[in-house]
A and B are shown apart, each in its own frame.
Chain A
């Protein structure tokens, strides 16, 4: 399996999501954690970019970090998968390498 890329910054604060998407090969997965979860919400100015990235990548978002920000799974873009910390561990195991974009 290709690489898992974790993104922990809001797309409204830093460009790490763009960097991750630029480097991620087709089939690589993106996991949004910490403030990175802001990229997962529908209706934002980056939502279209995230939706179009779904063509080439599975995109996951860490549920506890969504909840910690007062949001719920209902706000998450269709097609993204919400995981808990156990799911985070499973992704780390499933993909060959983990690249943390900080």
Chain B
């Protein structure tokens, strides 16, 4: 079945980021297609490669990147939510005149239309948030 996932919280706000990645992993292992994972609100904080959690802490961003490599996942970060929180890819950094970019591998920045499309194209949309 074709599923999409919406993540509304970052790795350090609420358990929902952990729940989302575990659900996504389980769905992929069962052979379902994940059409898209959309990161909205504080969920965009899942996509910064500049976070350096202690070695004995889980690193959700690296887990998303690894999952995206293994399954060719479409990890989409909401542009408006990302700009507010300082999550930038190379293009956005250039466009906004910033001196660095922090988007992790496997993620891409796009708009809310991608969430709507995920809702329409997928059989189910599962929401994780606070």
Contact = CB atoms under 8 A, between A and B. Distances in A.
B125 interface: yes
Given A85-B23, A89-B23, A92-B126, 11 more contacts: A34-B16, A85-B25, A85-B26, A89-B26, A90-B30, A93-B32, A93-B123, A93-B124, A98-B124, A100-B129, A102-B8
A26 interface: no
A33 interface: yes
B19 A34 contact: yes
Contacts of A11: none
| Shortest 6 CB-CB contacts between residues of A and residues of B | A85-B26, A100-B127, A89-B27, A102-B129, A34-B15, A86-B26
Contact of B126 (A64, A65, A100): A100
Contacts of A102: 8, 127, 129-130
Nearest to B32: A89
Nearest to A102: B129
Contacts of A84: 26
B23 A88 contact: yes
Contacts of B123: 93
Interface residues of B, number: 22
Interface string A48-66: 0000000000000000110
A65 B26 CA distance: 15
B37 to A, nearest CB: 14
A15 interface: no
A90 B1 CA distance: 10
Contact of A97 (B25, B124, B129): B124
Nearest to A99: B127
Contacts of B77: none
B107 interface: no
